[in-house]
Chain A
Amino acid sequence: MQRTWTAPFAWVGRSAVETAAAFGRFGVFGARAGRAVADVATWGRMLVVQMARLGVASLPIALFIAAFTGIVLSLQASYTFTGTVPEYFVGTLVGKTVILELGPVLTGLALAGRVGANIAAELGTMRVTEQIDALETLGYDPVSYLVIPRVVAGVLMFPVVVACADAVGVAAGWVTALNLLDMSTPEFVRGLRLFFLPFDVQYSLVKAASFGFAVTAVGTHFGFHTAGGAEAVGRSTTQAVVVSSMLILVLDAFWAVALL
Chain B
Amino acid sequence: MKRSNEVLVGLVVIVGVMVVVFGTIWLKGVKPGRERTDLVARFDRVGQLLEGGVVKLRGVPIGRVEKIALDSTGDGVLVTMSIRSDVQLPPEAVVVLSPESLFGDWQAEIGGKADPDFESYDYAQPVGAGVLPGYSLPELSRITAVADQIAHDLAILSDRFQEAFTTETAKNIRLAIENIQQVSEQLTGLVGKQQSAFDSVAADLTRTSQAAGQAAETLDRAFTEVEAAIGGGKLTGIVDNVQRSSVRVDSLTTELMAASRALRRMALGADTTLRRMGTIATSLERGEGSLGMLLRDTALYYSLAEGSVQLQALLKDIREHPRKYINLTVF
Q: Please report the C-alpha to C-alpha distance between residue A52 and residue B103 in the assembled complex, in whole angstroms.
A: 44
The closest CB in chain B to the CB of A197 belongs to B52
Please state if B8 and A52 are interface contacts (CB–CB under 8 Å). Answer: yes
Output the least CB separation between A169 and chain B (Å): 11
Interface string of A185-229 (1 = CB under 8 A from B): 000000011111110010001000000000000000000000000
Contact among B2, B5, B23, B105 with A201 in the assembled complex (CB-CB below 8 Å):
B23
Chain B: residues with Cβ within 8 Å of the partner, total of: 23
Please state if B23 and A167 are interface contacts (CB–CB under 8 Å). Answer: yes
Output the least CB separation between B54 and chain A (Å): 9
Q: Please report the C-alpha to C-alpha distance between residue A193 and residue B12 in the assembled complex, in whole angstroms.
A: 26
Q: Does B51 contact A (CB under 8 A)?
A: yes
Q: Does B27 contact A (CB under 8 A)?
A: yes
Contact among A48, A85, A164 with B6 in the assembled complex (CB-CB below 8 Å):
A48
Q: Does B28 contact A (CB under 8 A)?
A: yes
Looking at A156, A157, A163, A201, the one whose CB has the most chain B CB atoms below 10 A away is: A163
With contacts A55-B12, A89-B103, A192-B27 known, is A163 near B50, CB below 8 A?
no
With contacts A55-B12, A164-B15, A166-B19 known, is A49 near B29, CB below 8 A?
no
Output the least CB separation between A61 and chain B (Å): 14
Contact among A86, A159, A196 with B27 in the assembled complex (CB-CB below 8 Å):
A196
Q: Does B9 contact A (CB under 8 A)?
A: yes
Q: Does B24 contact A (CB under 8 A)?
A: yes
Chain A: residues with Cβ within 8 Å of the partner, total of: 29
Q: Does B16 contact A (CB under 8 A)?
A: yes
Q: Does A56 contact B (CB under 8 A)?
A: yes
Contact among A160, A166, A194, A195 with B12 in the assembled complex (CB-CB below 8 Å):
A160
Interface string of A143-168 (1 = CB under 8 A from B): 00000000000001101110110110
Output the least CB separation between A252 and chain B (Å): 20
Contact among A159, A195, A198 with B16 in the assembled complex (CB-CB below 8 Å):
A159
With contacts A193-B27, A197-B51 known, is A164 near B103, CB below 8 A?
no
Residues of chain B within 8 A of A166, CB atoms compared = 19, 23
Residues of chain B within 8 A of A205, CB atoms compared = 20
With contacts A86-B103, A196-B27, A196-B28 known, is A167 near B19, CB below 8 A?
yes
Output the least CB separation between B8 and chain A (Å): 5
Interface string of A29-61 (1 = CB under 8 A from B): 000000000000000000011011001100100
Contact among B5, B16, B23 with A161 in the assembled complex (CB-CB below 8 Å):
B16
Q: Please report the C-alpha to C-alpha distance between residue A95 and residue B28 in the assembled complex, in whole angstroms.
A: 12
Please state if B101 and A86 are interface contacts (CB–CB under 8 Å). Answer: yes
Interface string of A86-101 (1 = CB under 8 A from B): 1001000001000000
Q: Please report the C-alpha to C-alpha distance between residue A175 and residue B78 in the assembled complex, in whole angstroms.
A: 40
User: Which residue numbers of B lie inside 8 Å of A, CB to CB?
Assistant: 2, 5-6, 8-9, 12-13, 15-17, 19-20, 23-24, 27-29, 50-52, 101, 103, 105
User: Which residue numbers of A lie inside 8 Å of B, CB to CB?
Assistant: 48-49, 51-52, 55-56, 59, 85-86, 89, 95, 156-157, 159-161, 163-164, 166-167, 192-198, 201, 205
The 4 A-B pairs at the shortest CB distance, nearest first, are namely A160-B16, A52-B5, A196-B27, A163-B16
What are 18 pairs between A and B in contact, CB < 8 Å?
Answer: A48-B9, A52-B9, A55-B9, A55-B12, A86-B101, A86-B103, A160-B17, A164-B15, A164-B16, A166-B23, A167-B23, A192-B27, A196-B27, A196-B28, A197-B51, A201-B23, A201-B24, A205-B20
